[in-house]
Amino acid sequence: MIYTDANFTQPIVLLIGGEIRGLSSKVLKESDQNIFIPYANDFHNALNAAGASAVLGFEILRQRSK
């Protein structure tokens, strides 16, 4: 699911995986949703945790400010 399609208006626990390994399979198995941040072009690298946190934090604030 793309992060803009996720519902962040309810209380959440946000887990952000590492750039290379992501989240463990045990954590992913227990998750209700797995969301991702799409890139505008053929970008083969991942955002670092700080960048992903900033993008998702802004989306959470945007949805909760309505």
Mean pLDDT calculated for residue range 26-51: 84
Q: What is the pLDDT of residue 20?
A: 80
- The pLDDT score that the predictor gives to residue 43 is 67
| Residue 45 pLDDT exceeds 80 | no
Task: Give the Cα separation of 43 and 14 in Å (integer).
Answer: 24
Hey, CA dihedral for 42, 20, 52, 60, is it positive or negative?
Answer: positive
CA–CA gap between residue 66 and residue 64 (Å, rounded) = 6
Flag whether the pTM goes above 0.85: no
In this structure, of 4-8, 16-20, 32-36, the range with the lowest mean pLDDT score is 16-20
Are the beta carbons of 22 and 52 closer than 8 angstroms?
Answer: no
